A and B are shown apart, each in its own frame.
Chain A
Amino acid sequence: MKSIEETKTRKSGIDIIGNVSWGTHFCQFYKTKQDLIDILVPYFKVGLENNEFCMWVTSQPLSVKEAMGVLKKKVKGFDKVTKKGQIEILDYSQWYIRGGRFDADKVLAGWVEKEHYALRKGFSGLRLSGNTFWLEKKDWKSFRDYEEKVNGIIGKHEMLAICTYSLSKCSASEIIDVIANHQFALIKREKKWEVIQSAEYKSLKESLEESEQRLYLATRASKDAIWDWDLERGRVWWNEAYTLSFGRPKNTRDSRQWWIDHIHFDDRQRVVDSIQAAIKGKNEHWRCEYRFQKKDGSYGNIFDRAYIARNKEGKAYRMVGAMLDLTERKKMEEELKKAKDNLELQVAQRAGELQRANEALKITKDNLSRAQAVAHIGSWYLDVINDILIWSDETYRIFGLDIGAALTYEMFLEIVHPDDREYVDKCWKAALNKEPYDIEHRIVVGGKVKWVREKAQVEFNKEGKAIRGIGTVQDITERKQREEDSRRLQEELMHVSRVATMGELTAALAHELNQPLMAIMSNAQAAQRFLAKEIPDVKEVQEILSDIIKDDNRASGVITRLRALLKKSEFEFAILDINDVIREVIPLVQSDTVIRNISLSIELNDNIPFVRGDRIQLQQVILNLILNSFEAMAGVDSKRLCISTEQKNNQFVTVSVMDSGIGVDDKNIDSLFKPFFTTKKEGLGMGLAINKAIVEAHGGSLWARNNPDQGATFYFTLPIE
């Protein structure tokens, strides 16, 4: 497999072998010292050049000193290498038979220890060579067992091993044993080195390669991301699919942390806990669903399941698993479900529509007449060309004629209220010229006035001439009556609320009236005194009289404004300068602002366009908003009120009333305008509701916002004339 080769391939340094992977365990049969030098020197040279820790256990006929000498000749900077501790050259006695006898387990553990040492020191792995010259016949069996064990463990480690056997010491059966226990053997035939593989090993290797190839192809086919975690050494291997979807850490030693870091933060602890529990537990399987960051930075929904390999004691030493990215599948499932739901909905809708259509048709057929009676809707049909007019029974009833009576257009016009007759005739003529026909007008039936709504569709021929029309007549007398009642009620309510508003102003108005009255009184009394003098000062008295007239006008101005506000009037729309409307309200509240110690500023934009509206109603709105702000500022130290106007866009002007009061509770800001909503103890809760009704009747809108610092601002807009 490619990714294995990338990380595990090493140069053997021996031409006829080429590259080998970590875990390769092979042997050499030698006759002479030179045979050993031929193979082992290039073998270690390459290892030293490629950052491997090298360990050479030598024996007769090559002494430690000789080995050192030949290697030093071939390796550049050999002294540095030895100083760095990259190579150890030992005599067999210092390694294999420490303590006087050969102990297979001890030697094996020694190799593993050396490999760990190498990795700790930052070397890529351990390259070793052992010589068996020292073997006695009696040790042969235990050494064979040892070699088998080496085979068992070397595959899992970053180790390369070459065992050298002296041909002179091996019998034929021993040679066969040796070959069987190594992946291959090097033998010199006719001065050339050859590689010999045991048939067993070859077939094992082939089948292994085949199975690896199968696995590789299978994982490629499935695109599953497969990982293999060596728990003992904390290393993780990933397949190509894994790397493609998820990437990999820069340094393989960080692999475990890298994997944890890429789990979605919210899932991380759960997954780590789960996998740790699985490792500590007894199960052979682990599975977990979590979000994992993919190479593109997005998070995928991962279904991860693994097999946990355990040793005889049940301790986990390896986990192999596959991560399945369910994101696409989930998305597809959702889309599929949505599409399915949608389809079902559409089917249900269509079925419903069909059913309703059927029912409607049935009703139309069977009960049209009754339905018309219930709804007070009649229908008619006019054949323009042949001048035939047909009415439904309900149409006859609405127009107060006997059912079946002969009809003409003129007879119909006769029933229309005299004031509306011309209008109706004009509209119908227009309808014959392709104008839409949907009108409301009065009719007179038995001396009583009724309201009807008429709608019609006219069909035209190719030349554009009307050929026939079909229409409805609806008796809307009751609706009109209700509208009228409701309008009257609303006006009544507005009036009541206005009177109530004025009530709140009495104190200020008394002051407003008292000022001119006071001046008039004092002036008149002063005049009396001037006139009582021996030589009356006529000029002074004339001045006094003109001042009296001025003050009188001032007083009656206040009263006129008051009366205008108190008058019960219907809407009277006129073109207005909203600034003037505001200016007329200000004198009514001016003294109140003085009494309440409110600083009032008026910021009217003189360049705003005219609006269309009812002066009194709008003054009521402004007055009410101002009085509301007075109340909002009642308990506040710094009392500021600002009334301003501006043009909002090319459709509206905005009036805003901004105060520094207690503001509006955010949760109430929308219910403020509902009828009977009040936060005041004595309020009726109609003021703002009525204001809103008035503003909306003008085609504008009214709303409130709390100011960023203090208080609230009420805004209303009015359409530009």
Chain B
Amino acid sequence: MKKFIPMVFIVDDDASVRKSLERLIKSVGFKVELFASAEEFLERKPYRGPNCLVLDVRMPGLSGIDLQKELAQKNISLPIIFITGHGDIPMSVKAMKDGAVDFLPKPFDDKNLLSAIDQAIDKDVQRRKEGALKAKIQRRVNTLTPREYEVLTWVITGMLNKQIASKLGVGEKTIKVHRGRVMQKMQVLSVAELVRLAQIAEIVPPKK
């Protein structure tokens, strides 16, 4: 995986606030991009490296909360840190429930903001790693034939070859051959390892 410098997006309608935050966040080595409105931010292409969003709640036009909803609808997931000049508790609770990383009332301490950004970037990195692994396993799963996939789903439930054979109405030898191919294609040596990969790939075992 290529190394990208983590990016912090700032969306705030107040130019002075934007500029001061940019300085602060750049000083610890992140890339920073500024947007004066939610609409402006929605125009930007997704960043390919780890990133997070510092978002003002109250703005003319689309508010921060509106933007959060809009992103969720577009299936764009990036950690959000809300900042607000006049936050109220119900609003912050809702924002956090909808997946915000933090909710900081203005003016806030630089440490609070920067640690929230660190957390958000970590979370994004983690999410990206999981995503990459899941993609790798999925690629292996895609090489299986439908019959092999079916056998896989039964194997991860802990069934023996004989049991699977009777379930599918074929000979035990046939199952044995399929099982060998599954292990080979999934590049695993043990059933335990296969079960772990299946979990990551979110393969659901059939009901017995």
Contact = CB atoms under 8 A, between A and B. Distances in A.
Contacts of B59: 594
A550 interface: yes
Interface stretch (A255-263, A514-522, A561-569): A514-522
A525 interface: yes
Interface string A297-308: 000000000000
A514 B86 contact: yes
Contacts of B28: 529
Given A510-B85, A514-B85, A515-B106, A525 B17 contact: no
A540 B107 CA distance: 22
A111 interface: no
A593 B19 CA distance: 24
Nearest to A590: B60
Contacts of A521: 20, 107-110
Contact of A518 (B17, B58, B60): B17
B44 interface: no
Nearest to B88: A507
Interface in A218-236: none
B23 A540 contact: yes
Contacts of A510: 85-86
B58 A522 contact: no
B106 A526 contact: no
A522 B20 contact: yes
Contacts of A550: 16
A521 B83 CA distance: 14
B21 to A, nearest CB: 5
Nearest to B20: A522
B14 interface: yes
A547 interface: yes
Contacts of B83: 518
B75 interface: no
Contacts of B20: 518-523, 526, 544, 547, 551
Interface in A414-459: none
A633 B94 CA distance: 26
A530 B60 CA distance: 33
Contacts of A31: none
B58 A517 contact: no
Interface in A587-627: 591, 593-595
A698 interface: no
A519 B14 contact: yes
A550 B17 CA distance: 12
B17 A522 contact: yes
A648 interface: no
A514 B83 CA distance: 11
Interface in A480-526: 507, 510-511, 514-523, 525-526
A551 B20 CA distance: 11
Nearest to B26: A526
B133 interface: no
A514 B106 contact: yes
B190 interface: no
Interface in B38-59: 58-59
A598 B21 CA distance: 27
B110 A526 contact: yes
Interface residues of A, number: 27
Nearest to B21: A522
A593 B58 CA distance: 11
A264 interface: no
A157 interface: no
Contacts of B109: 521, 525
Most chain A CB within 10 A, of B83, B106, B108, is at B106
Contacts of A511: 58, 85-86
Interface string B6-41: 000000011011011101100110000000000000
A205 B176 CA distance: 149
A248 interface: no
A268 to B, nearest CB: 68
A526 B23 contact: yes
Contacts of B107: 514, 517-518, 520-522
Contact of B14 (A507, A515, A520, A595): A515
Nearest to A544: B23
Contacts of B85: 510-511, 514-515, 518, 591
A595 B57 CA distance: 10
A515 B86 contact: no
A705 interface: no
Contacts of A516: 16
A593 B60 CA distance: 8
Nearest to B27: A529
A530 B110 CA distance: 13
Nearest to B24: A526
Contact of B24 (A507, A514, A529, A593): A529
A544 B58 CA distance: 25
A310 interface: no
A554 interface: yes
A507 B85 CA distance: 10
A554 B19 CA distance: 15
Contacts of B21: 522
B19 A519 contact: yes
Interface string B106-117: 111110010000
Nearest to A598: B60
A389 B67 CA distance: 89
A414 to B, nearest CB: 67
B24 A525 contact: yes
Nearest to B15: A519
Contacts of B106: 514-515, 517-518
A521 B17 CA distance: 10
Contact of A594 (B16, B58, B108, B113): B58
A514 B85 CA distance: 6
Contacts of A520: 20, 107
Contacts of A544: 20, 23
Contacts of B13: 594
A523 B86 contact: no
Given A514-B86, A594-B58, A519 B16 contact: yes
B127 to A, nearest CB: 27
A594 B23 CA distance: 26
> Max chain B CB contacts within 10 Å: which of A514, A517, A526, A550?
A526
Contacts of A518: 14, 17, 20, 83, 85, 106-108
29 contacts: A507-B86, A510-B86, A511-B85, A511-B86, A516-B16, A517-B106, A518-B85, A519-B14, A519-B17, A519-B20, A521-B110, A522-B20, A522-B24, A522-B113, A523-B20, A526-B27, A529-B28, A530-B27, A540-B23, A544-B23, A547-B20, A550-B16, A551-B16, A591-B58, A591-B85, A594-B13, A594-B58, A594-B60, A595-B58
6 tightest A-B contacts by CB?
A522-B20, A525-B110, A519-B16, A526-B23, A514-B85, A518-B106
Interface of A: 507, 510-511, 514-523, 525-526, 529-530, 540, 544, 547, 550-551, 554, 591, 593-595
Given A521-B108, A547-B19, A551-B16, 17 more contacts: A511-B86, A515-B14, A515-B16, A515-B85, A518-B108, A519-B14, A520-B20, A521-B110, A522-B20, A522-B24, A522-B107, A540-B23, A547-B16, A591-B58, A591-B85, A594-B59, A594-B60
